[in-house]
Structure 1
């Protein structure tokens, strides 16, 4: 279902990443009058998607630029004259942030600051009507909230920030910058906090594609600790429609949580993926061990949050709801990764050479 949107010239940062690339595809497929410029410096995650699906479209342009590069940002913005910004560019892998936080501080905090300054300068040149319709949509994460006590105490937009990793701390800092630019300079911003995303085009370093890929190669399905960490799983297309709902109907200066009410433990997720894979790749006598036998528990990572649960009632009041059940979304995700398996394996080998 299409969600009517008011903006026709959309600047997207991080549009070669997992969520960003799905957003770009959705917009091009459903909105024939929308033009997109995508600012993405092509880190390993962005390059992964570009290799899998090189976008060629007359209404789409990619600029390989770092959002910390203010002069380049200014030049592109002045040329394109966007009527909104959807800011998704971020370093986002928790394990990588623990191993080395510096890129997360640079991209997520400094980069967001530079983008805010460039867009503030640009916004101030617009006429009154253009200023009123302009939006700066900042895409954040539920991880800024830290641990929920349990599913019954789901995060609301009023939940205090308590980040546990360098990644979530850097995203929390960027959220505060965005809100400060609204309060101090009147820049028309909205902020979203999504739960764990999954779907096609996600880099295989993330939990779900890693489980799928390893299972098909009979490699260990590694689970941190006892696997009882609870996550709320959101199919990426549902996230995209939520972002477009907030872009069009969200109130300036407000935060909106995005979740699908699909909370299960990581261990349950591993077993569910194994079950779905068994249905698609039935076990032949003597060919291999059951996929579930590959599940292997490893040492838990530092500061690992035990429970994420999202209350999306505020967003639902804008008319949004998730359309994919967990089983529907996982089935489509598994099908896509099985179709792309040889290509993904080849790309990963190139990355590690």
Structure 2
């Protein structure tokens, strides 16, 4: 494991017994958790994106604020829902963010997860999908987004261009342009087939928190096969740079008696779960709770965790800054070093393009 970070769903608006955060407090807490995580040497701060829900949504303001308050920690998403995005505007914002962050972006995008709204992307003005899940427009938008990020011309200059030193009729790329950004794009894959597509495209793989497959194999085994297929497709396509692979898990180290009281009740969910998502029989990952030695044994037996280079810890962000930093500190001090991790003191993971 080369890197680990936290993945926040950014819940807010629940009853006081469940945190009772306002949207404002959730956002300020997210920034403070990111700053504290960097001080612990944690590699990344990643945020989910859900629309029409009391959770994190439009990510760029939050990621920009985190980037401005930090110097080393990677900032990113897990994942942006392409059904809701204007791909050229997203390319502009992503490039600006990567420049602000000095190349510390890990931008996860995908078709998007199941949501509370019925075809909610249409309310944002994006119509024309013939797929009830909107996968068709998500893929089309993603291809256009990648072209824009690569710096391909997206428009033609006017015959009498105003305010820019360009030749009439010349192709114009999206500005600003951040050359290193293309190698900091991740696709959130929920199946083995989609992982192969990501590999052929030469992007990074952000394996989903659930897989829309259920073969009888464990979640970790399914993900490990997904990762193997991704890496094989990446190599067969002739890409030569080193891709990144992340998986996410809920991990609660029990180091003190208070930890046992706080997290012990979660241990009942310590097994994979099977359910129906978007009409697919799907597999959900387990939650790990235990003393450090127990966690190390369990994580080493998780084939996907051992195959990935980046582990994202899903955190109960609605429970406040102090508790979440305590979880990250416990993992950083008592678990991660035995898995090969070293504190982040220099910025992006070694081998990543560090300059925007």
Higher relative contact order, chain-length normalized (CA < 8 Å, sep 6+) = 2
- Give the alignment's TM-score, normalised by structure 2: 0.31
